[in-house]
Chains A and B, each alone.
Chain A
């Protein structure tokens, strides 16, 4: 690996950070220019993420590949950025969603407030940092960066509804950050290290009384991430906040819950994997119970939702619950399917959030939101924006209806699309127990999970059918919404990504399987990080 390729690893953090900062002094009237710069930056990050994914998937890398030592300090002493299959996958997913949301926002939503594109870049920098870092406290810093940007983005567009939802969102996240700090410092106080890889090797040799303290710390830390992931009963803030956010913001927020899930996946297998001695599998029962309750709560919420925004918010919860319970059940075969589900469900929910506003535009509820926005910001100018965004698409209702159908099929997990492939892969991993009597090997929790997974799909199907019929079939004389090409394209691209994922399910699942194998072998990963050579010598 050449030198410049080595430095590629830090660019997904530095580039959005620099562009975000550079865009702040640019006058707000040059919104399109700002948007194009932001889009360019995200596009470069996306390309870098693809290159990094290729590097991570490559088996024969020389030692030290994908380990970036900041300040050239070796691993347990300095902060490291770590590239592996999982972090590369999350980088790609983030950049993809961000691209779609940014294009969508340029049609009209970025005019609803100030500094939209700067905040967006800072959010991407925080997300990428959280995915790449190999240090617990550094994770906190990137987490806060991401959250600070997300507060600004949630309040984008202002109005009483968003401010109220934002107030709750900020309060609960500040409380969760306090828990994060308590957990991290407790772990540091006992083990004397903040490096995740170092932590994994130290945990096996702990004295029993210290072990209890570390487990307490990890549990407190876990609660902070479960708040973010939206596990019941820590999730009541989520549906109102996501429904109140502007559509492009809500679309990219779909990945924020996955950050919580990502950190739990990472820490769970790294610290409490098979090699952790007496602590192996710590907290699994809680993840299973919490995950299943989240699926149930989310499914009931989906059925009870009248507005599509809330339906999408509860779908986020169902998706989180499915993942958390799958991690908690701990069958090795399920993990690859769960990762596939993570990608598929995030893309789907993101597309759905973008679609909702387009569909709602022809209805009264959507008009209310727009009216509020216009009231708060006098510069929300209809004429100006129409000349900017170009032509409206023909056959609007047909295109919207088709997109809605695809979302319904993906959300409920019906064949032939990736939602079905993902759920099938999870269930196959669960049932795949060679040589064992199935009725004896499956625990009650396993069966409950199977039932809940299928019922949650049914709930999504019923709810989407009901809303779809009310929206697309009932209102003949309702106004047909004006939808621009620049708005429908991101939705189509995200849905096309899901279709591509369904068609290429074989290679995708092989990648996920390799990712899962990496996760299940944490000590090899630790070895790789701790023994990475310093740049320019020994």
Chain B
């Protein structure tokens, strides 16, 4: 499972960074989204991967701590997702405004000349 997760994070990050460096605003926003997915998975992974271990206490009582997983990274991921989502929405609005002002989706607001 560790291998799959790390490969997934790696692939998402690589695609995200590549797209982030592309000249079209739409590519940049997809790149940022992929990057934030990778980061969220990474935060989740920092709480160690455990199967069949709940992050909240069961109603029966505290029990053995070893049967629970670390809840803090899960809370952090939740916060990061919400903030990332809001920022992506905001970026989308700016992207549309830029398209409206300049008539192009190039990040510099004008097409590159090839001369």
Give A contacts to B, CB under 8 Å.
137, 141, 144, 148, 151, 155, 158-160, 163-164, 166-168, 170-171, 174-175, 177-178, 181-182, 184-186, 188-189, 194
| 13 A–B contacts, CB within 8 A, in A order | A137-B76, A137-B79, A158-B97, A159-B101, A160-B98, A163-B97, A170-B91, A171-B28, A174-B36, A181-B43, A184-B76, A188-B72, A189-B47
Contacts of B90 in A (CB 8 A): 148, 151, 170
The distance in angstroms between the C-alpha atoms of A148 and B94, with both chains bound, is 13
Q: Between A and B, how many residue pairs show CB distances below 8 Å?
A: 82
Judge if B87 is at the interface, Cβ distance under 8 Å. yes
Whether B39 and A181, one on each chain, are in contact in the complex, defined by CB atoms closer than 8 angstroms, is yes
With A144-B83, A170-B90, A189-B46 already in contact, the answer to whether A178 and B36 are too (CB < 8 A) is yes
Judge if B73 is at the interface, Cβ distance under 8 Å. yes
Whether B83 and A185, one on each chain, are in contact in the complex, defined by CB atoms closer than 8 angstroms, is no
The distance in angstroms between the C-alpha atoms of A178 and B80, with both chains bound, is 9
Q: Is the interface of A mostly helix, strand, loop or mixed?
A: helix
Whether A177 and B87, one on each chain, are in contact in the complex, defined by CB atoms closer than 8 angstroms, is yes
| Min distance, Cβ A311 to any Cβ of chain B, angstroms | 23
Contacts of B84-115 to chain A: CB distance below 8 A: 84, 86-87, 90-91, 94-95, 97-98, 101-102, 107-109
The distance in angstroms between the C-alpha atoms of A168 and B87, with both chains bound, is 14
Whether B76 and A171, one on each chain, are in contact in the complex, defined by CB atoms closer than 8 angstroms, is no
With A137-B76, A151-B90, A160-B101 already in contact, the answer to whether A167 and B107 are too (CB < 8 A) is yes
Whether B98 and A144, one on each chain, are in contact in the complex, defined by CB atoms closer than 8 angstroms, is no
Judge if B25 is at the interface, Cβ distance under 8 Å. yes
| Min distance, Cβ A172 to any Cβ of chain B, angstroms | 10
The distance in angstroms between the C-alpha atoms of A158 and B28, with both chains bound, is 21
With A137-B76, A188-B73 already in contact, the answer to whether A164 and B108 are too (CB < 8 A) is yes
The distance in angstroms between the C-alpha atoms of A163 and B25, with both chains bound, is 13
Contacts of B43 in A (CB 8 A): 181, 185
Q: Which 4 A-B pairs have the closest CB atoms?
A: A189-B46, A185-B43, A160-B101, A185-B46
Q: A171-B28, A171-B107 are in contact. List 10 more A-B contacts (CB 8 A).
A: A151-B90, A155-B94, A155-B97, A160-B109, A167-B95, A168-B107, A175-B20, A175-B32, A181-B43, A185-B76
Q: Is the interface of B mostly helix, strand, loop or mixed?
A: helix
Give B contacts to A, CB under 8 Å.
20, 25, 28, 32, 35-36, 39, 42-43, 45-48, 72-73, 76, 79-80, 83-84, 86-87, 90-91, 94-95, 97-98, 101-102, 107-109
Instruction: Name A188's closest neighbour in chain B (CB-CB).
Output: B46
With A163-B101, A166-B94, A170-B94 already in contact, the answer to whether A182 and B39 are too (CB < 8 A) is yes
| Min distance, Cβ A103 to any Cβ of chain B, angstroms | 28
Instruction: Name B86's closest neighbour in chain A (CB-CB).
Output: A148
The distance in angstroms between the C-alpha atoms of A166 and B28, with both chains bound, is 14
Contact partner, A144, options B87, B101, B109, Cβ 8 Å: B87
Instruction: Name A141's closest neighbour in chain B (CB-CB).
Output: B79
The distance in angstroms between the C-alpha atoms of A148 and B101, with both chains bound, is 22
Contacts of A159 in B (CB 8 A): 101
Contacts of A170 in B (CB 8 A): 87, 90-91, 94
Whether A141 and B83, one on each chain, are in contact in the complex, defined by CB atoms closer than 8 angstroms, is yes
Contacts of B39 in A (CB 8 A): 178, 181-182
Whether B91 and A171, one on each chain, are in contact in the complex, defined by CB atoms closer than 8 angstroms, is yes
The distance in angstroms between the C-alpha atoms of A182 and B79, with both chains bound, is 14
Instruction: Name A138's closest neighbour in chain B (CB-CB).
Output: B79
Whether B91 and A178, one on each chain, are in contact in the complex, defined by CB atoms closer than 8 angstroms, is no
| Min distance, Cβ A135 to any Cβ of chain B, angstroms | 11
Contacts of B35 in A (CB 8 A): 175, 178
